[in-house]
Chains A and B, each alone.
Chain A
Amino acid sequence: MTVTAERRVERIAADFPILARPTSRGKRLVYLDSAATSQKPRAVIAALVDYYEQYNANIHRGVYEIAARATAEYEAARVKIARFIGADVSEVVWVRNTTEAINLVAYSWGNANLRAGDAILLTELEHHSDLVPWQLLAQRSGAELRFIPVDERGLYVLDDLDELLDGCKIVAAAHVSNTLGTILPLDTIVSRAHAAGAVVLVDGAQGAPHLPVDMKALDCDFYTFSGHKMLGPTGIGVLYGKRDLLEAMPPFFFGGDMIRKVEYAHSTFSDPPRKFEAGTSNIADAIAFGVAVDYLERVGMPWVREHERLLTAYALERLAPFERRGLEIYGARDPELISGVISFNLADVHAHDLASILDTEGVCVRAGHHCTMPLMDKMGWAATARASFYVYNTEADVDALCVGLEKAARVFGI
């Protein structure tokens, strides 16, 4: 990293109060688990407090001043999200998280469109959240589940894509793999799926936080993501859907705030997105998610991608010498092909033991199957340790990871 780039990251890191708090062992907190959840900048935390302290009121009905303000801020956050992903505001549905968004599509769109003999095409890299809802849809509808294979480096093998798309109604694939960082070849998948008459849902849980995304350019039909992985709070996420698809879909949850007119015997429903937003919404977190997106726009998503690309390259370079001592690095090992995620194991040290030892150095990494058990089985990995990067991570964080690896090697006599 150049001095200017390093200064910039240091300034960003200073916006995250948690990163200034030492661990109980007095170590600097080195947070390398942003693929699980990101840290939150001061502005996002302040937005939550502001709502509860200054204008806490329910939305879409109160006529008094603070209710009007709550409604305005909540809907303004939706406008921010729409701008951030290049969508129309009517195409942005608030949900709890990516998982809820995928379940919504699998039930609402899936039940209405899938029949016995149809196919659902997933990939071998999917997180359980983008696998299990489709397994259940396949069971309900009699549709067949198919998978785009990956090679031993976790890269997609598209040789049989047209055969896999034959009879397929929907393709659901992760924009970025949470386990290996593999970036989906979206252009190819979307254009060929559309040519075959299938709609495409992109699980953007690891995409929207790390890559510039524009719905018009990507041309996918659904895109799902979670606020908490992109500097926002937990409990708020987004389902993007093309307007004509959302209009044709039946609601998923029923109740207040999603209706047009209710009589004792029957009801009519609002237009999208509100017909999918039954009950009191997660108002504070939606507003704070808007502030998180403001922050990312100020930093600039092209810069985020470039920063993570450079940091991944640096990490791969710094980790390489450990290979002589049994470090195995999984995935493509090419910063152009992956987002900021590196999975690894050190000799016969189990990933959980490795994570425990790294923790003693203040280094937070994930260990386990990363909610991709079928992938782990296919690759023959019992568990891996995973380091993932975001806007606040520095080369010093990677250096701290290496210090932790040295310690683990020493403890285990490697």
Chain B
Amino acid sequence: MDDFYRDYILDHYRHPRNFGELANADVEAEDLNPLCGDQIRMQLKVDGGRVGEVRFSGKGCAISQAAASMLTERVKGMTLAEIAKLSKDAVLEDVGIGISPTRMKCAMLGLRVLKSAAIGELAGWPDEE
């Protein structure tokens, strides 16, 4: 945790990529972490079975917002099935350093919402924790 707040994390927090609203999104979902109030909304535009455009919006801590921002960069061009199969390791790889158990929910909020969007339902996935 001491070195979690690296420059690129803070950069994604203060300058989130693919941030905003998408008109005519094909798939979207949002969720919040009721314990801490972090919120994320994910929208996807799908062209020929693959993600063309992606936008996220929300508010919360640097970890939740930076992880979501990095995730949007990763999923462009993926199929919905590929997104549905994304594991938390993908997020951990993006953020690059260990996250304490208490903050894992923050880091995984974007992934949970994105997968919900991809499969069109909010039910949790077994590997989300």
Contact = CB atoms under 8 A, between A and B. Distances in A.
The reply to whether chain A is a binding partner of chain B is: yes
Interface of A: 25, 348-353, 356-357, 359-360, 367-369, 373, 376, 382-383, 411-413
A412 B13 CA distance: 10
Nearest to A413: B10
A23 B82 CA distance: 42
Nearest to A350: B61
21 contacts: A25-B2, A349-B62, A350-B60, A350-B62, A351-B61, A352-B60, A352-B103, A352-B106, A353-B5, A353-B61, A356-B100, A356-B103, A357-B5, A359-B1, A373-B37, A382-B37, A382-B60, A383-B37, A411-B5, A412-B10, A413-B10
A348 B14 contact: yes
Contacts of B61: 350-353
Given A369-B37, A412-B10, A413-B10, A352 B63 contact: yes
B37 A368 contact: yes
A412 B37 CA distance: 21
Contacts of B62: 349-350, 353
Given A352-B106, A382-B59, A413-B10, 6 more contacts: A349-B62, A352-B36, A356-B103, A368-B37, A369-B36, A373-B37
Interface string B6-43: 00001000100000000000000000000111100000
Nearest to B99: A356
Contact of B36 (A25, A368, A413): A368
Interface of B: 1-2, 4-5, 10, 14, 35-38, 59-63, 100, 103, 106
Contacts of B10: 412-413
B36 A383 contact: yes
Given A352-B103, A382-B59, A412 B5 contact: yes
Q: Nearest 4 CB-CB pairs, A to B?
A: A350-B61, A352-B61, A411-B5, A353-B62
Contacts of A368: 35-37
B2 to A, nearest CB: 5
A162 B121 CA distance: 49
Contacts of A349: 62
A405 to B, nearest CB: 14
Contacts of A351: 61
Nearest to B4: A356
Contacts of A383: 36-37
Nearest to A368: B36
A348 B35 CA distance: 20
A246 to B, nearest CB: 35
A25 B61 CA distance: 23
B23 to A, nearest CB: 26
Contact of B63 (A25, A353, A412): A353
A213 to B, nearest CB: 31
Contacts of A367: 36
Contacts of B2: 25, 360
Nearest to B5: A411
A238 to B, nearest CB: 27
A293 B102 CA distance: 33
A161 to B, nearest CB: 31
A262 to B, nearest CB: 42
Contacts of B14: 348
B11 to A, nearest CB: 11
A413 B14 CA distance: 12
B41 to A, nearest CB: 15
A383 B35 CA distance: 11
Contacts of B5: 353, 357, 411-412
Contacts of A357: 5
A311 B63 CA distance: 33
Contact of B1 (A350, A356, A382): A356
A403 to B, nearest CB: 14
Nearest to A376: B37
Contacts of A382: 37, 59-60
B103 A360 contact: no
A348 B5 CA distance: 14
A352 B10 CA distance: 14
Given A350-B61, A353-B62, A360 B36 contact: no
Contacts of B1: 356, 359-360
Contacts of A360: 1-2
Nearest to A410: B5
A386 to B, nearest CB: 13
A268 to B, nearest CB: 44
